[in-house]
Amino acid sequence: MLLKRLRDTMARAGSVEDTLGEVVRLVANEMVAEVCSIYLLRAGEVLELFATQGLNPSAVHRTRLRVGEGLVGDIAAHGRPLALDDAQAHPQFAYRPETGEEIYHSLAGVPIVRAGRVLGVLVVQNRTRRQYDEEEIETLQTIAMVLAELIAAGHIVSPNEMQQVDGLGLLPLRIDGVQLTPGVAIGHAVLHEPRIVISRVVAEDIALEQQRFEEALHGVRADVDRMLEAHDMQSGEQREILETFRMFVDDRGWMERVREAVSSGLTAEAGVQRAFDEVRIRLGQSTDPYIRERLSDLQDLCNRLLLRLTGRVAADPASMPDDMIVVARDMGPAELLDYDRTRLRGVVLEEGSALSHVAIVARALDIPVVGRAPDVLSRVEAGDPIVVDGDNAQVLVRPAEDVLQTVHAAIDARVERRRKYAMLRDLPSATRDQARISLHMNAGLLIDMQHLDDTGADGIGLYRTEIPFMVRSEFPDVDAQAWLYGRVLDLADGRPVTFRTLDVGGDKVLPYVGAFGDDNPAMGWRAIRIGLDRPAMLRRQLRALIQAANGRPLSVMFPMIAEVAELLSARRLLDLELDRARRRGQALPEQLRVGVMFEVPALAWQLDSLLPHVDFLSVGTNDLLQFLYAADRGNSRLAGRYDSLSPALLRLLHFVVEKVRPAGVDLAVCGEMAGRPVEALALLAVGVRSLSMSPGSIGPVKAMIRSLDLGEATGFMAAALTQPDRPMRETLRLFAADHAIEI
């Protein structure tokens, strides 16, 4: 009944302030309390009295308590209810003369919580020493939930001003993660898969809501059973996780909480949210990994139920801030590119690794990314001010003013460093002992091409053709592809461009094809494997490339070649397209270079038969490392586990260099490793002379090259590689420090 009246009141009243006034009157009346007040959280961790029935009306907007101060502050700080028959005897009691509250002895208060964040406090007070019972506290909690929606929807306190609780405290928050992309950015949070916000809180028809909840639960249960069946043949972790999850779905205690909430008059979705918020507030501060794991299971379950109950609504891009920091659990490169680039400043991921494609795309966009930031999605609210500090692998949420100033200084220093690197632009890329090193750039979008000029790169060592495919809603036809590749060549203005044919599959999903359902996508049906099984698709791309070159030199590279036969088949398709162009009287490339990515280790033992058929080899260390160590490049738990500066990889590369050099075949490295100065040093020391990297890395790598004596480095490396196996990173750092090499 109270909820119904509350809803009617909310529907009747005018401004949000008026509504709050009506609400406190109604609640005081219904709860037989002399006082009912609403305090809301404002900037600076202050709780301000916004509406009251019973206290002195002139105290509204005047009475302010710091979080943690007084009983109201205590409720907000801990995010938990208080019920006291003798409030004044409580050590936390703080007397505020302007309110005239000295005559009230008992107090009950609950936090107003939305999506796990405290927005304010709802309080009732009585003159007598009243003992509030559990049911009354629950009623207050339900009212607080309705209020939370009203407050959020009414923007009573601007979201930018609002401070939120993280765990116990209301302090600005620092979250440590790992650097996926360097750089520093300041902006406002956009939650990638925004938490499902419920708009209907009060039930129109309780029986119907109960039924909706049971149906949703049944649906989720069936989904999980289906997943379990699908994984029936698999043992181990995945099944275990699903089974634990399934047990959760059947957890009586939690379900009963939801059912009770729904019986008290909440909608099914509000009941789910309410029960979840309770658990989160209770367990949210726990650092016990088991509990955190359970909490994320519960979050997952809650989301599944809410999805069924509400249906997700896509965010409106126009409502996004101009300085977006996208916060996500994990995301694919296409998802990142869905955001308006002119407004995208940085990314924070709960998962992710430096080799994942989202990180590579972010690097191309030159935006900082911090990954493996624990629980960031539940600790950040949309609209929160955030600093993404890729350089120091940390995220600052709701930073204080002095912190912001320091960050601005760091951004200025970065600009200054860039200016220094820009000065290297026209200086030769050569070592102190005059070895010339070619520096190329990796690209995948037309906008990347502008960096050719500002970095002074020799050309494009890797053009990832799949990126434009991933951002479209349908497969581009030959003309569209030809136009695009033609533009790339125009913009390169005579500098060489190596086009890699479509490398989809793995973590690169085409929106119009979907995931292929491989258990191990990186090792599944991807790249050239798809190209050879669907030759029409690959032929269309090769046709477009020939058309785009229109007589200019053309360089084509096939990805993920694991056997010589695959290259030969791919080459045959290229020859067919050349014949076709010839027959039609089209201009043929003045020079044609064909090469392969070296990213599958098996190729190392086929070099003798492979080399006669290629003009160049480009080492994709991202994939090579993942296959060499059997370590998923996108798995955040494995990130950093196997160092790219391991003797195994360096010996393998040295072996390849020695094979390739006498064959007169060009060799380059185009994985992310090439763009990091210490790694680049190691690559040069094992004999590589051509590197291709993200534009932002060219300056730092060139600075390293110009300070390096390659003869010395080669000797040092040869000796180091004969040592018993141990990580080489520290050794190389010391070598660089001793020899004044800029890393």
Q: What is the 3-state secondary structure (H, E, C) of 558-616?
A: ECCCCCHHHHHHHHHHHHHHHHHHHHCCCCCCCCEEEEEEECCHHHHHHHHHHHHHCCE
Going by their DSSP bridges, the two strands 106-114 and 82-84 should be labelled as: antiparallel
Which string of b and e fits 139-167 if b means at least 16 CB within 10 Å? Answer: bbbbbbbbbbbbbbeeebbeeeebbbbbb
Tell me: does residue 620 bind Mg ion (CB under 5 A). Answer: yes
**Residue 667, token pair as written in the block:** 């060799």
**Which residues are CB-neighbours of 71 under 8 A, at least 6 positions away?**
82, 84, 87, 90, 92, 93, 94, 107, 109, 123
361 versus 610: smaller Cβ distance to ligand PEP: 361
The Cα–Cα gap between 155 and 168 comes to: 24
Q: Please tell me the count of residues contacting ligand PEP according to CB under 6 A.
A: 11
Q: Assess contact for 174 and 230: CB atoms under 8 A.
A: no
Judged by CB under 5 A, does residue 461 bind Mg ion?
no
Between 535-549 and 564-583, two packed helices, what is the crossing angle to 10 degrees?
50
* CB 635 to ligand PEP: min, Å: 15
Q: How many residues bind Mg ion (CB under 5 A)?
A: 3
For the segment 234-263, give every residue that binds Mg ion (CB under 5 A): none
Closest CB to Mg ion among residues 599, 679? 599
**Minimum CB distance to ligand PEP smaller for 111 or for 671:** 671
Kindly report the CA angle at 245 between 239 and 246, in degrees rounded to 5? 90
Cβ-based neighbour number of residue 493 at 10 Å: 9
* Two tokens, residue 373: 């930031």
Helices (H), 159-231: 206-230
Rounded least distance, CB 549 to ligand PEP, Å? 22
390 touches Mg ion by CB under 5 A: no
Contact pattern for ligand PEP over residues 542 through 581, marking x by CB under 6 A = ----------------------------------------
305 makes contact, choosing from ligand PEP, Mg ion, none, with CB < 5 to 8 Å by partner type, with: none
CB of residue 625 vs ligand PEP: minimum separation in angstroms? 8
Helix spans in 321-439 (H): 333-337, 357-365, 376-379, 401-424
Question: In the set 60, 148, 457, 670, which binds ligand PEP (CB under 6 A)?
Answer: 670
Q: Which residue reads 């479509």 in tokens?
A: 502
Nearer to ligand PEP, 444 or 700 (CB): 444
Q: Which is nearer to ligand PEP, 96 or 464 (CB)?
A: 464
Q: How far is the CB of 607 from Mg ion (least distance, A)?
A: 18
Residue from the set 277, 381, 623, 679 that interacts with ligand PEP by CB under 6 A: 623
Torsion of CA 383, 389, 395, 399, to 10 degrees: -60
Name which of residues 555 to 614 contact Mg ion (CB under 5 A).
Answer: 599
Buried-exposed string 271-289: b where 16+ CB fall within 10 A, e elsewhere: bbbbbbbbbbbeebeeeee
440 binds, among ligand PEP, Mg ion, none (CB under 5 to 8 A by kind): none
Q: What is the DSSP string of 102-153?
A: GG--EEEEEEEEETTEEEEEEEEEESS-----HHHHHHHHHHHHHHHHHHHH
Strands of the sheet containing 184-191, edge to edge, are 173-176, 394-397, 385-389, 184-191, 324-328, 344-349, 369-371, 178-181
Using CB under 6 A as the criterion, what x/- string covers residues 438-477 for binding ligand PEP?
------------------------x-x-------------
Which among Mg ion, ligand PEP, none contacts residue 621 (Cβ within 5 to 8 A by kind)? ligand PEP
Q: Which two tokens stand for residue 717?
A: 């490396």
Our measurement of the distance from residue 552's CA atom to the centroid of its chain's CA atoms, rounded to an integer in Å, reads 40
For residues 367 to 386, the per-residue mask of contacts with Mg ion, x marking binding by CB under 5 A and - elsewhere, is --------------------
Site for ligand PEP in 332-371 (CB under 6 A): 360
Residue nearest to ligand PEP (CB): 620
Query: Minimum distance between the CB of residue 639 and ligand PEP, rounded to whole angstroms?
Result: 15
Give the shortest CB-444-to-Mg ion separation in angstroms: 12
Output the smallest distance, CB 470 to ligand PEP, in A. 12
Among 19, 126, 622, 644, binds ligand PEP (CB under 6 A): 622
Among 333, 671, 677, 699, binds ligand PEP (CB under 6 A): 671
Which CB, 505 or 620, lies closer to Mg ion? 620
Do residues 373 and 395 touch, judged by C-beta distance below 8 A?
A: yes
C-alpha to C-alpha distance for 141 and 315, rounded to whole angstroms: 29
Task: Enumerate residues 6+ apart whose C-beta is below 8 A from 200.
Answer: 267, 269, 270
What's the closest the beta carbon of residue 625 comes to Mg ion, in angstroms?
10
For ligand PEP, the closer of residues 177 and 559 by Cβ is 559
**Which one of the spans 103-111, 369-377, 383-391, 615-623 is the region binding ligand PEP (CB under 6 A)?**
615-623
Residue 620 is a binding residue for ligand PEP (CB under 6 A): yes
* Catalytic option among 188, 302, 440, 670: 670
399 part of the interface to ligand PEP, by CB under 6 A: no
Taking the complex as a whole, the smallest distance from the CB of residue 599 to Mg ion amounts, in Å, to: 5
What does 269 bind: ligand PEP, Mg ion, none (CB cut-off 5 to 8 Å by kind)?
A: none
Shortest reach from residue 508's CB to Mg ion, in Å: 10
CA pair distance 206, 200, nearest whole angstrom: 13
Q: How many CB atoms lie within 10 A of CB 268?
A: 29
Residue 503 found at the interface with ligand PEP (CB under 6 A): yes
- Least Cβ distance, residue 469 to Mg ion (angstroms): 15
Q: Considering 357, 440, 451, 654, which one is annotated as catalytic?
A: 357
Stretch binding ligand PEP (CB under 6 A), from 100-108, 319-327, 469-477, 614-622: 614-622
Q: Which is nearer to Mg ion, 126 or 356 (CB)?
A: 356
Q: Which residues contact 449 (CB under 8 A, 6 or more apart)?
A: 443, 460, 488, 491, 492
670 binds, among Mg ion, ligand PEP, none (CB under 5 to 8 A by kind): ligand PEP
670 noted as active-site residue: yes
Q: Does 632 bind Mg ion (CB under 5 A)?
A: no
Residues 56-115 that bind ligand PEP (CB under 6 A): none
Nearer to ligand PEP, 498 or 621 (CB): 621
Residue 302 known to be catalytic: no
For position 599 contacting ligand PEP by CB under 6 A, the verdict is yes
CA-closest candidate to residue 67, choices 89, 90, 94: 94
Nearest to 179 by CA among 372, 410, 406, 378: 372
If you write DSSP's letter for every residue of 225-259 in order, what string do you get? HHHHHHTTT--SHHHHHHHHHHHHHT-HHHHHHHH
Q: Provide, rounded to whole angstroms, the least separation between the CB of residue 623 and ligand PEP.
A: 3
User: Contact region for ligand PEP (CB under 6 A) — 133-141, 142-150, 410-418, 616-624?
Assistant: 616-624
* Shortest distance (Å) from residue 673 CB to Mg ion: 12
Query: Of the ranges 128-136, 408-416, 621-629, 724-732, which one interacts with ligand PEP (CB under 6 A)?
Result: 621-629
Residue found by looking up tokens 């040092």 in the block: 716
Which helix H or strand E contains 733, and what residues bound it?
helix 729-738
| Residue with Cβ nearer ligand PEP (174 or 593) | 593
CA distance 271 to 258: 5
- Nearest CA to 74 out of 60, 85, 84 is that of 84
The rounded distance, in Å, linking the Cα atoms of 594 and 257 is 65
Q: Interface residues for Mg ion in 671-710 (CB under 5 A)?
A: none
Q: Roughly what angle, to the nearest 10 degrees, separates helices 729-738 and 710-722?
A: 150
**623, 632, 672, 679: which one binds Mg ion (CB under 5 A):** 623
CA atoms within 13 A on the CB side of 379: 26
Give the interface with Mg ion as residue ranges (CB under 5 A).
Answer: 599, 620, 623
Could you give the residue numbers annotated as active site? 357, 670
Give the interface with ligand PEP as residue ranges (CB under 6 A).
Answer: 360, 462, 464, 503, 599, 620-623, 670-671
